Amino acid sequence: MSEAPNIHATAIVVGRTGLLFSGPSGWGKSMLAFTCMTEARRLGLFTALVADDQVLLSGEAGSVIATCPPSIAGLIELRGTGIVRQDHIPQAAMHYAVLPGSASGENRVPPDGEFVSLAAGFSLPALRLLTGVPSPLAVLMAKAPDIGD
């Protein structure tokens, strides 16, 4: 059996929906995920951190499963603030990959039905998001209404 790929990402759950924030270092994955969890709590939705910075991927019955290395369970780094503890679960199925959006140029409106490969054999539907939006969860829910179910 091969070792689970370890990717640089942040994985959370909102309701029963897994969101995997993936993108270049410094994009704001952790802060966007944290803000989405805060919004979800304000809406009365279940939310939990799965993993921040290191996410182990595996497959189960056609689903992409994100797992947290035990040494960082419940910890999320908020750039400029430090490391904080969050409610967490050790693993969850992921449903969407949240990727950086583009505010200008020809990629301003991303293609519908976009998928992203996370590692060999692991892909998810992509949702694009700009950093600095005041309500990132609301934006994601507008594009994927099943988030939070």
User: Which domains, and CATH codes, for the chain?
Assistant: 6-143 (3.40.50.300)
Q: For residue range 128-144, what is the model confidence (pLDDT) as tens digits? A: 998 888 999 999 999 99
Of the candidates 60, 61, 47, 63, the one whose C-alpha atom is nearest the C-alpha of residue 11 is 47
Over residues 12-59, the pLDDT tens digits come to: 999 999 999 999 988 899 999 999 999 999 999 999 999 999 999 999
Instruction: Read off the tokens for 114.
Output: 């976009």
Instruction: Kindly report the number of other CB atoms within 10 A of residue 68's CB atom.
Output: 23
